[in-house]
Structure 1
Amino acid sequence: MRDYDEITAFLGEWGPFQILTFLLLSLSVFPNGFGGMSIVFVGDIPEHRCFIPGNLNLSEAWMNRTIPLEQAQGKLQYSKCRRYRLDVIRNLSEIFPDPDSVNISEVEQEPCLDGWVYSKDQYISTIVSEWDLVCNDDWKMPFSMSIYFLGVLVGSLVSGMLSDRFGRKAVLFGTMAVQTSFNVLQVFSSSWEIFCLINFLIGIGQISNYVAAFVLGSELLGKSIRITYCTLGIGISYACGYMFLPLVAYFIRSWQVLLLTLSLVGLMYIPLWWFIYESPRWLLSKGRVQEAEAIFQHIAKKNGLTLPEVLFNDLELESIKDKNIKSFPISHLVKTHNIRSITIISLIVWLILAIGYYGLSLNTPNLHGDDYLNCFFAGAIEIPANLAAWLFLQKFSRKLSLSGSLFFGGIVLFFIQLIPPSVSILATVLVMVGKLANTCAFTIIYTYTAELYATVIRNTGVGVSLMASRLGSILSPYFLFLGVYYEFLPYILMGSLTILSAILILLLPETNNFPLPNTIDQMQRMKGFKSACNHRYYLNTNEMATEVNCVAIKNEEI
């Protein structure tokens, strides 16, 4: 019996309709590139020091001595969180006009009781200067990032269910509206707590939009275009959105105006409603045959083709419905020793990848050089990374491509600590190279994970893996926070974990040039794990049925 792709093959793979759909759906991902990364500038920490009230009547010489000097990251600088006791300083200034005649270092210190003064050299304002997220409250800055990624985690859980219930198109545009409207509301946040709450809601909309575009494109486009769409289409559009962020932020130095400007970009996507169509596959699964056939009619007309009189017979329609509603519980991911091992390794690798990707992306302000150029390069580097991933997926082993990318990226990060301060630009280059390798691996693992799991548990397996990556993104800001204690500690940890994930990948089976498994019994066995099955199953390759006995592949990697 024919499947959906075979029945609709007459529509072609790359006609005018597919080209337009490819471009528009890729374009819909553009705001995702700057949506999650805007915190790089919105939440950057300006140079700051304790505020000294002007009513102390101190001379300029004494004013300059009210802040103690302390060693930080190998250099002497003014304290950001402490000052000398002002009552003592005032008494000393009345007795000794010249502060150099007094050993001020012995004066007792106190916290910044009157607030802070923030440098205006780079920013007019950020949320840090708005709500004093420094010193004892410095934990609030990484928490602001983590709460966004917590929203992304929740969005990952609900987006699939919403998409299956209400349709891919409705969720795509609905979540884009959520992003735009809550970004506007965030501009008017009256407190840090309100900002975090809205950031959580934006995170829900951001990932739901991305997933809906990913699924809708995969279902509207043909087999030969799907990998290109999921790597080059979505990946490059995301990277362009990423590069757009520093270009806007360079000219807009106030966090409120920056967020408002970025949020208004979402209004440009309203006209796309009339050019992007619902997934016919989803419509058929819901029994809405006439609506699906109307879309097929439009595609055929757009591509200059004639629609057959009968597309689906009753038996084929029932088969499509069954395939869409049939699912297995999450317990099947740990039901057998082989699948359990694949799942555990996948979860670990996805979590580490997310820590590395978001850790490097959010670390832009801490790099040497210009923040805006560094952020632009961090986005631009994703274009060759996606091109490399597309090439690897087309031509080479999934396992070796993924493991090699991770190993290379981990080694690069691990050795950043060896770069001397005199050539700090080289450290920034290595960070960018590490991000290239990490982004390439992140793109490959989507396809690889989907190919590892059988059809009946594929959505569940990929969904659980995505949840692990969201947990990694929640943890990533705190990896950066460790840099307060030792500048290179985040790179050492991320590099070591990335190398560990590269080793774990080598334990998984290869999937390139093997047909997708439909049943759990057809899932490939990890090397060294015995198979208990004795029955035979079929692998369809090049329209030929090849009979394979499970016993023959025991203890082997296929």
Structure 2
Amino acid sequence: MQFLSNWLSCSVMDFFPNALECRVAFWSQSLPLLLQWNLVCEDDWKVPLTTSLFFVGVLMGSFVSGQLSDRFGRKSILFSTMAVQTGFSFLQIFSTSWEMFTVLFLIVGMGQISNYVVAFILGTEILGKSVRIIFSTLGVCIFFAIGYMLLPLFAYFIRDWRMLLLALTVPGVFCIPLWWFIPESPRWLISQGRYEEAEVIIRKAAKINGIPAPAVLFDTLEMQDSKPQQQQKAILLDLFRTRNIATITIMSLLLWMLTSIGYFGLSLSTPNWHGNAYINCFLSAVIEIPAYVIAWLLLRSLPRRYSISGTLFLGGGVVLFIQLVPTDFHVLSVVLVMLGKFGITSAFSMLYVYSAELYPTLVRNMAVGATSTASRVGSIIAPYFVYLGAYDRFLPYILMGSLTVLIGILTLFLPESYGNTLPENFEQMLRVKCFRNGQQTTGVRNSKASPKILVTPL
């Protein structure tokens, strides 16, 4: 299996006999950019570092985006961070060095995740219940996959990296007119006491939908009752306050991080597969659509632990099997990688639902934030798994497959939340399966419970 068929060996021995030989490989279709800044041989470590620093920006953006949108509003932060992503992507075109390109790329990562998160929040707050479920499940995920599919198409027809960056900034410019069509979140306006503005938006929505609005939307008593109440505040240490909670948190952090390594590792390794790198990247994006649909169906009808661990076993198992495929079975190798990507993507898309169902209301947002942060750490590490392929073409797949199977086994020891009401306090939290001593407290069973949210992994 020629996974490195698109890579060229970097050796100067033929031209300079007294030089030291460089045995590290690099992707031939990136030659203009790599050679322009000498990102080969002893400096080839800069290539995965560039991607890792982008994900460092994603990590930083995920910390601040929610706080900024809570303070300044969903709409303003959405378009501000979109401007950051578009503007700094445009500035990358004029990069004169690897250092300049990388710093700008980090800022692009901050803007990208920020407008993604805020757009998701805004959509869930302004849409009606019937549309909100579809938007927050299949809508977000599938349109993410569509954007993913468009990327290799752009890259195929635009081979110059500066022109490619220019083309990728155009969609951001086209989003400017949306400012006059997308309203601010009425929920956020109400939380800020801006009832008149919220009423204007609600009445306009009612008119568009042909629904008569009440003469009075907010009376004085309701406005007084809606003032923020003093609530108990949670701290990060609450996620480790007991042995059971600490075990759930640690296992959840590992689940998110290792699943993220598998997802981004396979996504970033497409140039190493046999065949055309652009087609491989496109197929890697296409496979995500059925993965999201299957994940949605599994969440509606099957237990969480078995759904997540089963898809992880599928993804990790077929990736491990790649090393056993004969070298001339190129198509089979790519099919196995696609199946691996399918399984890991399905599992990844179910983690938001599962994590939210494990924790009580007081720390639910904090828990989901902490575990999703672990996935950012995994995305930072993932490029170096791909980088190991320059030394042994099977090593990245052995490592990713082994870790994915391992975390699939670990998932079986987590509590099962399917059919249970969401816990309101720590006493209602389910117990880890390996804890046999003590009373196991469960929520009220509800066989018709359905997932509340399904978010794509970024």
1:221 to partner: Cα distance = 2.9
1:289 to partner: Cα distance = 1.9
Tell me if 1:270 matches 2:200.
no
Tell me if 1:166 matches 2:72.
yes
Any conservation in 1 of the 2:313–2:408 contact (CA below 8 Å)?
Answer: yes
1:282 to partner: Cα distance = 1.7
Any conservation in 2 of the 1:173–1:209 contact (CA below 8 Å)?
Answer: yes
Per-residue Cα deviation, 1:339-394 (whole angstroms, up to 9, x for no partner): 21111111001001111111111111110011111111111111111111111122
DSSP 3-state at the match of 1:357: helix
In structure 2, the partner of 1:501 is: 407
In structure 2, the partner of 1:83 is: 13
Q: 1:132 aligns with which of 33, 38, 55?
A: 38
Q: 1:365 aligns with which of 271, 279, 282?
A: 271
Per-residue Cα deviation, 1:377-415 (whole angstroms, up to 9, x for no partner): 111111111111111122222221111111111101111
Any conservation in 2 of the 1:45–1:126 contact (CA below 8 Å)?
Answer: no
Gaps of 5+ in 2: 449-458
1:118-517 equivalences under 5 Å are: 122=29, 126-312=32-218, 321-322=227-228, 327-517=233-423
In structure 1, the partner of 2:456 is: none
Distance 1:112 1:205, change over 3 A: same
Distance in 2 of aligned mates of 1:324 and 1:502: 41
Distance in 2 of aligned mates of 1:296 and 1:280: 7
Any conservation in 2 of the 1:156–1:466 contact (CA below 8 Å)?
Answer: no
Specify the code of the residue in structure 1 equivalent to 2:252.
S
Tell me if 1:110 matches 2:16.
no
Any conservation in 1 of the 2:69–2:77 contact (CA below 8 Å)?
Answer: yes
> For the aligned residues, what is the CA RMSD?
2.9
Farther-moved stretch of structure 1 (189-198 vs 279-288): 279-288
1:326 to partner: Cα distance = 5.9
Any conservation in 2 of the 1:171–1:209 contact (CA below 8 Å)?
Answer: yes
Identity %: 51
DSSP 3-state at the match of 1:82: coil
In structure 2, the partner of 1:63 is: none
Per-residue Cα deviation, 1:480-502 (whole angstroms, up to 9, x for no partner): 11112211110111011111111
Distance in 1 of aligned mates of 2:177 and 2:34: 37
1:136 to partner: Cα distance = 0.2
1:252 to partner: Cα distance = 0.9
Per-residue Cα deviation, 1:134-153 (whole angstroms, up to 9, x for no partner): 00001000001001001001
1:539-550 equivalences under 5 Å are: none
Distance in 2 of aligned mates of 1:541 and 1:85: 73
Distance 1:457 1:320, change over 3 A: farther
Distance 1:318 1:274, change over 3 A: same
Distance in 1 of aligned mates of 2:312 and 2:210: 45
Count residues with an aligned counterpart. Answer: 442
Any conservation in 2 of the 1:239–1:380 contact (CA below 8 Å)?
Answer: yes
Distance 1:320 1:455, change over 3 A: farther
Distance in 1 of aligned mates of 2:231 and 2:179: 27
Q: 2:435 aligns with which of 520, 524, 529?
A: 529
Distance in 2 of aligned mates of 1:538 and 1:312: 35
In structure 1, the partner of 2:455 is: none
1:222 to partner: Cα distance = 4.0
Distance in 2 of aligned mates of 1:126 and 1:539: 61
1:321 to partner: Cα distance = 5.0
Distance 1:314 1:454, change over 3 A: farther
Larger CA Rg, structure 1 vs 2: 1
Distance in 1 of aligned mates of 2:20 and 2:223: 71
Distance 1:85 1:438, change over 3 A: closer
Specify the code of the residue in structure 2 equivalent to 1:239.
A
Gaps of 5+ in 1: 1-43, 49-78, 87-107, 544-558
Distance in 2 of aligned mates of 1:478 and 1:126: 22
Specify the code of the residue in structure 1 equivalent to 2:397.
Y
Distance 1:85 1:263, change over 3 A: closer
Specify the code of the residue in structure 2 equivalent to 1:261.
A
Distance 1:413 1:319, change over 3 A: farther
Distance in 2 of aligned mates of 1:140 and 1:526: 42
Specify the code of the residue in structure 2 equivalent to 1:204.
M
Distance 1:540 1:496, change over 3 A: closer
Per-residue Cα deviation, 1:270-307 (whole angstroms, up to 9, x for no partner): 11112222222222222222222222212221221122
Distance in 1 of aligned mates of 2:179 and 2:149: 26
Specify the code of the residue in structure 2 equivalent to 1:156.
S
Distance in 1 of aligned mates of 2:331 and 2:75: 45
Distance in 1 of aligned mates of 2:29 and 2:384: 24
Distance 1:309 1:45, change over 3 A: farther
Distance 1:428 1:45, change over 3 A: closer
DSSP 3-state at the match of 1:515: coil
TM-score by length of 1: 0.74
1:519 to partner: Cα distance = 2.5
Farther-moved stretch of structure 1 (161-170 vs 292-301): 292-301
Specify the code of the residue in structure 1 equivalent to 2:190.
L
Higher strand share goes to which structure?
A: 1
DSSP 3-state at the match of 2:13: strand
Any conservation in 1 of the 2:273–2:334 contact (CA below 8 Å)?
Answer: yes
Farther-moved stretch of structure 1 (494-503 vs 505-514): 505-514
Distance in 1 of aligned mates of 2:311 and 2:40: 37
Specify the code of the residue in structure 1 equivalent to 2:306.
L
1:160 to partner: Cα distance = 1.2
Any conservation in 1 of the 2:420–2:442 contact (CA below 8 Å)?
Answer: no
DSSP 3-state at the match of 2:329: helix
Any conservation in 1 of the 2:413–2:433 contact (CA below 8 Å)?
Answer: yes
1:213 to partner: Cα distance = 1.4
Distance 1:312 1:480, change over 3 A: same
Specify the code of the residue in structure 1 equivalent to 2:255.
V
Distance in 1 of aligned mates of 2:221 and 2:411: 41
